[in-house]
Structure 1
């Protein structure tokens, strides 16, 4: 790839692809420079540095996940919305492990784009919870429970934690979503 073909978007996409291959923590500017066939200093005209690149990959992953979530939830509510939301996260994590890791990053500095994505992602979670009688003052707790269950299960599964015993991870996934549905359906408040 010639230097003329580089842009911040191209560098970010290359970094996201590399993250999916080797892990988000392993993405470095020097690895990106090697991959696109330029010297390291050339990348600095496209990204401000390693932290800027990490933030860009995180925002890209959040954009992809949110856009897919909006499509997955369209016309769904309650249990069906919960399952679509959960399955989307699990599928995205399996297809894009480095991006999913980046999407869970808590180190995104405040910016208009980060705020816009946070609002969109919050809207998705609200859309799921709208199908349940979770009182407004309890929503933050319900959001944290949903996020913890999804991210925790997905990370354990990706790390191979369910490969050594029966029943399958797939069966446990369905049981976990059934339990989450029951919890949300009878949320105290």
Structure 2
């Protein structure tokens, strides 16, 4: 942080978000952020309640950034095109901001996260609604998409695809096609009781 940048909850959150991307969310602490901005931890505590508050603010920031990106990427798209934009946008964000992405994937108590988290969920629901699923199935479909993306991203980041062919990009394309197929041919109540 520049010496002329005022110390605020927002500036400390930005520093923490950068730290999360650089070293991982588990390294985001009041002490480390204080060291990064060149102040004593007591100065950080003047603006924040502690490490949990700081990590929660990173989660809120990440969800807001992701919601903004998704809103732009999904505008004017529908069906498979919207699904592709959704999964590609989320994956790109996760690759560019691994620590922030991690903050969106863990249970963090952050009262302000509800609004941007709700925006992300609403955008995902809008994509799923394009497949004309019954209302009772929408949450299941959103969970399928989120779990699939998160699993792929985590495996890729952790080197799970490093020693195998084909290239992960080909697998990503297949995964997107498989999600589209699953949403297009969603099981009925009869299918799930067998």
User: Which residue pairs with 1:165 in the alignment?
Assistant: 164
Task: Give how far 1:29 is off.
Answer: 1.1
User: Which residue pairs with 1:52 in the alignment?
Assistant: 53
Alignment deviations for residues 107-136 of structure 1 (CA, whole Å, 9 cap, x no partner): 234x3x332223211211111112202110
User: Which residue pairs with 2:104 in the alignment?
Assistant: 103
Task: Give how far 1:4 is off.
Answer: 6.7
TM-score (norm 2): 0.92
User: Does the 8 Å CA contact 2:59/2:100 hold for their aligned counterparts?
Assistant: yes
User: Which residue pairs with 2:173 in the alignment?
Assistant: 174
- Residues matched between the structures, number: 187
> Unaligned regions of 5+ residues in structure 2, if any?
189-194
Q: Is 1:130 matched up with 2:129?
A: yes
Task: Give how far 1:178 is off.
Answer: 0.4
Structure 2 counterparts to residues 14-53 of structure 1, below 5 A: 14-53=15-54
RMSD: 1.3
User: Does the 8 Å CA contact 2:129/2:138 hold for their aligned counterparts?
Assistant: no
User: Does the 8 Å CA contact 1:20/1:97 hold for their aligned counterparts?
Assistant: yes
TM-score (norm 1): 0.95
User: Does the 8 Å CA contact 2:52/2:108 hold for their aligned counterparts?
Assistant: no
Moved over 4 A (4+): none
User: Does the 8 Å CA contact 1:133/1:186 hold for their aligned counterparts?
Assistant: no
User: Does the 8 Å CA contact 1:23/1:97 hold for their aligned counterparts?
Assistant: yes
User: Does the 8 Å CA contact 2:60/2:117 hold for their aligned counterparts?
Assistant: no
